[in-house]
Amino acid sequence: MNKDMKYIEKEKNYKKVIRTEILFTPLLISLPIIVSFFLFYDWYTRGLLLNNPAFNGELLLAAIILFGNIIFDIPFLKSLIKLSKKRKSN
């Protein structure tokens, strides 16, 4: 009986974690993209148009944030879609 209660408790915690992860997904994906586009815009207006090479670091930082976010978000979204399909079928 004690093992069943532990299993039920773990299952409840697992569901809470998944629900929290699903709710934070838009924030986890959109916030780095917004920041990287802001850095691209800042580099474009202050670095490229004014010909100031001091803002080239912002270009590099924006590219790292954007591409890193894309690389890690695609598998994350695939796993969430697969999990939601799995839960719907059960």
Please name which of 2, 19, 37 lies closest in space to residue 87, comparing C-alpha atoms.
19
- The residues spanned by each domain of the chain are 2-89
Per-residue pLDDT at 60 exceeds 90:
yes
pTM above 0.85, yes or no: no
Per-residue pLDDT at 1 exceeds 60:
no
3-state percent breakdown (helix, strand, coil) of the chain, nearest 5: 95, 0, 5
pLDDT tens, position by position, 65-90: 999 999 998 998 888 888 777 777 76
